Chains A and B, each alone.
Chain A
Amino acid sequence: MTAKREHLRIGFIPLADAASLFVAVDKGFVAQEGLDVELVQEVSWSNVRDKLNIGMFDAAHLLAPIAVASSLGVGHVKTPIVAPYNLAMNGNAITVSPSLREAMMARLDGDALDPLATARALARVVADRKAAHAEPLTFGMTFPFSGHNYQLRYWMAAGGVDPDEDVRLVVLPPPYMVGSLAQGHVDGFCVGAPWNSVAVDLGVGHILHFSVELISRCAEKSLAMRESFAQDRPDVVAALLRALHQAARFIGEAEPAEIAAMLARPGRVGVDAEVILRTLQGRLKVSPDGATRENRRYLLLGEEGAERPDPTQAAWLYAQMARWGQAPASPALLDAAERVFRADIFDAALPSATAPAPRSGDAIGAFSGPCFDDRDLGAYLSGFPIRRTP
């Protein structure tokens, strides 16, 4: 092909769940589609969002809830953003300090692998601390509009801990998480790979739960772009989606060690390949004593139709915003949220892509609480005893 390749600037944060984007560029899949993609590393989600909004990026690796929040104008400037491709599902974990883990285990009634049992143990620890007039526990998460924030809140609230009243939740940039845990500025956090493993390796944290054990299917990172870009450049978007799909398939079929080595390079995820390998294989060291746990659904890239944006996922993310007072609950906003995840663009670009696996129960698979029903938001929300009411 002699035609000039289409130049695209795509922003990203160096995380393992941007794997498909890295592989699409580094294995030449985007070039084969006639695209010349420049990957631009960023230091904060705010920067990624703003540069996408004002057109300095054509597309971005973005926290899925930010795509929804921007489109709704929640918490920030309203900019219509669409997510025609889901880069990753799940992939986070809750890690706590050795001392908090010890306190929780002493108050555990049930199985340490059961999130409801640990959440109730946390509630008892919180009550003990209140009785002793100790400082409330502090938990870190990466961004107000993030799966991390919602997963952490969902888990603790199920055990009776009000995340706004009983503990402190603070935003921390992922590279600062481990240091903050080691220095006792936070007692636990919810973050993506590789930071949970880094904390375990350094002996300053125990992985309590994989996020997939809390929410079975949770849209984590989107390939996001301005709605106007998707409208004006459908061919470019389709070419990009084909390249990403090819990358996701390649990741599924190649030796995990080869992928891990690609991602470990500086300018990509830039951490030890062995740590990335654990994430890709879903086999994580969960405790400094070397204990490991495995869940092959830990991080879903191309498997189980995870690539296809599911509007119900966007609706669930919006429901979390409504539950925690970030956004008002309204059917109009719910509709608008669902329209952010553009399965139609995905289907047009990739008519033969695997359909999502048939599911039992609702689209989300939460470990507790009411089934998610996007046709009755009010009933869903009132099924939670702990929530912000307008």
Chain B
Amino acid sequence: MKIVIVDESPVRAAILEDGLREAGFTNVERIGEMRSLLARIYAIDPDVILIDLANPSRDILEQMFQVSRAVRRPVAMFVDQSDTASIQASVDAGVSAYIVDGLKKERIKSILDLCISRFNAFSHLQDELARAKSEIEERKTIDRAKGLLMKAKNLGEEEAYRLMRSTAMREKKKIFEIAQAIITASELFK
């Protein structure tokens, strides 16, 4: 079975491709460039097309449902009308599947389930990445403020940090916010 992944996020597409390969689907191709999308899909001639819902090019795929000379094999969006929960899950995860007519539903179901879980895993990963990034930013700010305090008040590193922490506790603020205030104030006093 030939599967095409249409996704502008190369990382997510790679995660999905890995998942598909692990599950035994080895014939997978990725399209990340949306120019002449249909021509490329026709050239690959896949059985299943997976596309992320944040992609405006999804409307281009609708053309494949049309009866036209250009379309060699009729394609349908994968929707099992008896299974609204799985449709809901796929839209929530942000992925949609198109299949060549006549393909067995059970086989597609397993691919779609895999897609949903990989897409969800990807967005968790992104959330975590964003959190880690902001933690690093906070750490940097606190270090900078500590340096400013050490210089201005002639304190040791430990003392400077304790001063920020006690101020934060007294003011019921985060130590990061106190650090930001110190940096702002020092800019003003320049």
Contact = CB atoms under 8 A, between A and B. Distances in A.
B65 A54 contact: no
Nearest to A79: B81
B62 A173 contact: no
Given A44-B55, A46-B59, A76-B65, A185 B91 contact: no
A76 B76 CA distance: 8
A47 B88 contact: no
Contacts of A46: 58-59, 61-62, 96
Contacts of B34: 176
B87 A173 contact: no
B91 A56 contact: yes
B91 A142 contact: no
Interface stretch (B13-21, B66-74, B110-118, B165-173): B66-74
A390 B58 CA distance: 28
Contacts of B59: 44-46, 142-143, 171, 173
Contact of B87 (A54, A144, A164, A170): A54
Contact of B69 (A47, A164, A172): A164
Contacts of B69: 164
A356 interface: no
B60 A50 contact: no
A170 B56 contact: no
Contact of A171 (B54, B62, B88): B62
Interface string A76-90: 110000000000000
Contact of B62 (A51, A56, A75, A164): A75
A325 interface: yes
Interface residues of B, number: 29
Contacts, number: 69
A216 interface: no
Interface in B38-91: 38, 53-63, 65-70, 77, 79, 81, 84, 87-88, 91
A369 interface: no
Contact of B91 (A50, A168, A173, A326): A50
A43 interface: yes
B106 to A, nearest CB: 19
Contacts of A175: 56
Contacts of B190: none
A83 to B, nearest CB: 20
Given A43-B54, A164-B68, A185-B35, A143 B91 contact: no
Given A54-B88, A56-B91, A144 B56 contact: no
A145 B34 CA distance: 21
A176 B35 CA distance: 10
A44 B58 contact: yes
Contacts of B88: 54, 56
Interface in A129-181: 142-144, 164, 168, 170-173, 175-176
Contacts of A43: 53-56, 58
Contacts of B91: 50-51, 54, 56
Nearest to A78: B81
Contacts of B60: 170-173
Interface of B: 34-36, 38, 53-63, 65-70, 77, 79, 81, 84, 87-88, 91, 96
17 contacts: A43-B53, A43-B55, A44-B53, A44-B57, A46-B58, A46-B59, A46-B96, A50-B91, A50-B96, A54-B91, A75-B66, A77-B79, A142-B59, A170-B38, A171-B62, A176-B57, A326-B67
Interface of A: 43-47, 50-51, 54, 56, 75-77, 142-144, 164, 168, 170-173, 175-176, 185, 325-326
Given A46-B58, A50-B96, 4 more contacts: A46-B96, A144-B62, A164-B68, A326-B67
